């Protein structure tokens, strides 16, 4: 039998715990009560935008609330990264993004206004993909060796296009491997770079994601030479891996995941993780990703955090190997 004192202590403890329990239950039951905004770091119509809109629509169908895509463009994803990190942690701003652009940021910029690892909640992984080294279809260069030999003769008179940090690092690793001095020209998104390369003689090559390159390759405007991963990938079996193409220092791939600002309630994070993990294995998702040279990469919050933590270390090595100077 409880004493009066123990009963009072027990009752007080229950009273203190009740708001927390009710708060968690409320957060879980009430979310989502309004439309959700998911942030895309590249422009509308870009390869990245295609991925974000696809998964935003899948989430919208799953939860029965509108999911709006907002494009926050610039600084190789840095503007979007900072926007999400500074957003209200209420579960109504989510981030579907290539995790490597969070991982590489500390190594590319001398000053960041956010912490890529600790200013976000890392919800789960979605899919992974390599980038593709492409040249104009009219180019005489049909192998990496052909392209490298030509660029060697051009010195700094030849240029390449970069559309993201993966694109930039991959190109610089290629240059490092063959001792090239090809000059970088930055583009905000892949379509503009492809248009420039296929419409003029200004660019010798671009490293581009499969979503952005699929249509121009199929239309006969671009020729793929190799992928950025060491070995061939199942989704793109006819494109050589970097090692067999002679680029021995490259084994780069991009993996995509879901994030929110730090501090989103745990029940909301759990719900997001559950919803996206139910979406990823669906047959139409597998088909969509395979058609864009990607493959599913299901995970969870723990894996997403671990991959980002390891990715920060790995991308530091790649940036150092490629000898890329920090941006201000």
Q: Which domain holds residue 180?
A: 132-227
pLDDT tens string 41-76: 999 988 889 999 999 999 999 999 999 999 999 887
Residue 236 located in a structural domain: no
What pLDDT is recorded for position 29? 58
Query: What is the chain's percent helix, strand, coil content, to nearest 5?
Result: 45, 20, 35
Residues 154 and 202 in one domain: yes
| pLDDT band at residue 255 using 50, 70 and 90 as cut-offs | very high
Residue 232 located in a structural domain: no
Residues 262 and 287 in one domain: yes
- Helix or strand or coil: residue 95? strand
For residues 252 and 103, the answer to whether their CB atoms sit within 8 Å is no
Residue 5 located in a structural domain: no
Residues 77 and 52 in one domain: yes
What pLDDT is recorded for position 292? 87
Beta-bridge mates of residue 134: 206, 224
- Tell me the two tokens of residue 8: 């009072």
Residues 121 and 161 in one domain: no
Residue 244 located in a structural domain: no
Residue 162 located in a structural domain: yes
**CATH number (domain holding residue 312):** 3.40.190.150
E strand residue ranges, 169-314: 183-186, 205-208, 222-227, 254-261, 295-296
Q: Of 158-162, 314-318, 323-327, which gets the smallest average pLDDT?
A: 323-327
Enumerate residues 6+ apart whose C-beta is below 8 A from 205: 133, 134, 135, 147, 160, 161, 171, 197, 225
What pLDDT is recorded for position 45? 86
Residues 292 and 259 in one domain: yes
With tokens 């491997």, the residue in question is 177
For residues 209 and 129, the answer to whether their CB atoms sit within 8 Å is yes
CA–CA separation, 259 and 215 (whole Å)? 29
Residues 187 and 271 in one domain: no
Residues 92 and 75 in one domain: yes
For residues 276 and 258, the answer to whether their CB atoms sit within 8 Å is yes
**C-beta contacts of 48-52 below 8 A and 24+ residues apart:** 48/97, 48/98, 48/164, 48/209, 48/211, 50/211, 50/292, 51/96, 51/127, 51/211, 51/256, 51/292, 51/294, 52/96, 52/97
What pLDDT is recorded for position 4? 38
CA–CA separation, 47 and 228 (whole Å)? 17
Mean pLDDT taken over the chain: 89
Q: Of 16-20, 205-209, 247-251, which gets the smallest average pLDDT?
A: 16-20
Residue 310 located in a structural domain: yes
Determine what percent of the chain is predicted with pLDDT higher than 90: 73
CA atoms within 13 A on the CB side of 162: 18
pLDDT of 13 strictly over 50:
no
Say if strands 132-136 and 222-227 run parallel, antiparallel, or are unpaired. Answer: antiparallel
**CATH number (domain holding residue 210):** 3.40.190.10
Residues 149 and 121 in one domain: no
More confident residue, 17 or 250: 250
Residue 109 located in a structural domain: yes
| φ/ψ of residue 135, rounded to 5 | -130, 165
pLDDT tens string 257-287: 999 999 999 999 999 999 999 999 999 999 9
- Domains in the chain, number: 2
What pLDDT is recorded for position 68? 98
Residue 79 located in a structural domain: yes
Question: What are the residue ranges of helices labelled H in 77-154?
Answer: 78-85, 100-103, 105-108, 144-154
pTM of the model: 0.79
- Tell me the two tokens of residue 90: 């209420």
Enumerate residues 6+ apart whose C-beta is below 8 A from 274: none
| pLDDT band at residue 1 using 50, 70 and 90 as cut-offs | very low
Task: Kindly state the average pLDDT of the residues 95-109.
Answer: 92
What pLDDT is recorded for position 195? 93
What pLDDT is recorded for position 22? 41
- Helix or strand or coil: residue 193? helix
CA atoms within 13 A on the CB side of 325: 3
Residues 125 and 257 in one domain: yes
What pLDDT is recorded for position 72? 96
Domain end call among 185, 212, 227: 227
What pLDDT is recorded for position 8? 37
Residues 83 and 104 in one domain: yes
Residues 120 and 258 in one domain: yes
pLDDT of 26 strictly over 80:
no
More confident residue, 164 or 255: 255
Residues 136 and 194 in one domain: yes
């Amino acid at each position: 039998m409880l004493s009066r004192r123990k009963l009072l202590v027990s009752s007080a403890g229950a009273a203190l715990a009740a708001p927390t329990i009710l708060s968690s239950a409320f957060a879980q039951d009430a979310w989502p009560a309004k439309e959700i905004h998911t942030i895309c770091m590249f422009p509308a119509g870009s390869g990245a935008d295609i991925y974000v809109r696809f998964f935003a629509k899948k989430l919208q169908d799953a939860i029965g609330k509108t999911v709006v895509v907002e494009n926050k463009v610039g600084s190789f994803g840095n503007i979007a990264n900072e926007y999400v990190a500074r957003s209200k942690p209420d579960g109504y701003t989510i981030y579907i993004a290539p995790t490597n652009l969070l991982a590489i940021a500390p190594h590319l910029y001398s000053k960041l206004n956010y912490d890529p690892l600790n200013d976000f909640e890392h919800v789960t992984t979605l899919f992974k993909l390599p980038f593709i080294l492409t040249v104009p279809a009219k180019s005489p260069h049909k192998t990496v060796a052909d392209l490298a030999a030509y660029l060697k003769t051009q010195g700094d008179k030849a240029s390449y296009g970069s559309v993201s940090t993966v694109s930039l690092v991959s190109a610089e690793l290629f240059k490092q491997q063959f001792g090239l001095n090809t000059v970088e020209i930055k583009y905000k998104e892949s379509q503009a770079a492809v248009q420039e390369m296929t419409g003029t003689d200004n660019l010798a090559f671009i490293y581009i994601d499969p979503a952005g390159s699929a249509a121009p390759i199929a239309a006969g405007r671009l020729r793929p030479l190799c992928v950025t991963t060491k070995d061939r990938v199942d989704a793109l079996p006819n494109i050589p891996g970097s090692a067999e193409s002679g680029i021995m220092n490259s084994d780069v791939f991009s993996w995509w995941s879901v994030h929110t600002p730090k501090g989103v309630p745990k029940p909301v994070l759990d719900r997001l993780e559950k919803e996206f993990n139910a979406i990823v294995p669906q047959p139409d998702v597998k088909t969509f990703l395979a058609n864009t040279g990607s493959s599913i990469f299901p995970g969870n919050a723990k894996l997403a955090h671990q991959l980002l933590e390891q990715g920060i270390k790995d991308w530091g090595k790649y940036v150092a190997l490629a000898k890329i100077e920090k941006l201000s």
